[in-house]
Amino acid sequence: MAEAGTSSQTRFSIKRQPGFTTIAIVCFLMLYAPIITLVTYSFNAGTSVAIWEGFSWRWYEAAWQNEQVQDAAARSLIVAAFAALIATTAATMAALATTRTKPYRGLTTVYALINQPLMVPEIVTAVALLIFFAVIKVNTGYQGLGYLILAHTAFCIPFAYLPIRARLEGMDLSLESAAADLYATPWLTFRRVTLPLLLPGILAGAMLAFVISLDDVVITEFVKTPGQDTLPTYMLGQLRRVVTPEVNAISTVLLTISVVLVSVFFFLNRRKR
């Protein structure tokens, strides 16, 4: 290593630093080895998550037929779908209000307020919601999924907001001027020009919100009424009792859904003009 840093080296390059490759490999291993292990053991024929006994689909079948899993999965999808829908709608309106108006006093504060869920520790939000909803539950007696949907919507908004705002900011403003010039009212300009051009951003935002809602544990665990397990909280509950590769199987399915949706998100965002 005595040769390192000789005069032939004109510019600093992190790649040439000693140990770079090793550190990179360790990091990737740390990231992916556990996931690869998890996925591998979801196909284990035995009941252990650590001893390989041959390939089998049995845990996928078990999970598929497990009524609790079905129940939790359905709930997860319902909550995620509603949360993504409402959050994306709100985020679209927020993005329009922060990019298509004249700059006004407090605009920066508005940005901060919209993105608040990214800054406040999740556990704080969870506790706050728990107490807040408890008051409502006591007063109204309502026990339904509304609380979960509302809570998920709240923390999904910034994730939906960011790609939509980015897309709006990248859009050529003269297109909207041109529509107005060609007799389109503000509403028609929005519907015929802004919205179609914004659609990839909206889809990306919705997908991101969906994925974020789908794998939330902390807030769900605090807000849910007993018996209202989503897939992640069901899995957490399972792990406290017996650990079988069934959890691996469910995880693998969730992983697949997330990877697919996030890939679509990147694909949509990359194709912006």
- Identify which of residues 146 and 196 has a Cβ nearer to another protein in the complex: 196
**Least distance to another protein, CB of residue 180, Å:** 4
**Which residues within the stretch 167-186 sit at the binding site for another protein (CB under 8 A)?**
172, 174-175, 177-186
Report if residue 204 touches another protein, rule: CB under 8 A: no
Q: Which is nearer to another protein, 197 or 249 (CB)?
A: 197
Compare residues 58 and 100 and give the one whose CB is closer to another protein.
100
Nearer to another protein, 58 or 272 (CB): 272
Q: Which residues contact 217 (CB under 8 A, 6 or more apart)?
A: 232, 233, 236
Residue 12 or 104 having the CB closest to another protein: 104
Measured CA to CA in angstroms, residue 270 lies from 84, 89, 165, 198 at distances of 21, 22, 15, 13
- Residue 209 in contact with residue 159, Cβ under 8 Å? yes
Residues 41 and 52: their CA atoms lie apart, in Å, by: 7
Note whether 233 and 247 are within 8 A (CB). Answer: no
Q: Which of 93, 112, 188, 239 binds another protein (CB under 8 A)?
A: 188
Which residue from 157, 193, 202, 204 is in contact with another protein, where contact means CB under 8 A? 193
Contact between 197 and another protein per CB under 8 A: yes
- Nearest approach, Cβ of 39 to another protein (angstroms)? 40
- Cα separation, 235 vs 253, whole angstroms: 13
Question: Least Å distance between CB 97 and another protein?
Answer: 20
136 lies in the site for another protein, by CB under 8 A: no
Residue of 82, 97, 199, 105 lying closest to 151 (CA atoms): 82
Report in angstroms how near the CB of residue 169 gets to another protein at its nearest. Answer: 17
- Residue 273 Cβ vs another protein, minimum distance, rounded to whole Å: 7
Task: Report whether 60 contacts 73 (CB < 8 A).
Answer: no
Please say which residue, 180 or 264, places its beta carbon nearer to another protein. 180
Least separation, in Å, of the C-beta of 118 and another protein?
Answer: 31
Q: Which residues are within 8 A (CB) of 134 and not within 5 positions of it... i.e. 6 or more apart?
A: none
Among residues 28, 27, 24, 46, the alpha carbon closest in space to that of 248 is found at: 46
Q: Which helix (H) or strand (E) holds 82?
A: helix 67-99
The residues binding another protein (CB under 8 A) are 172, 174-175, 177-186, 188-189, 192-193, 196-197, 273
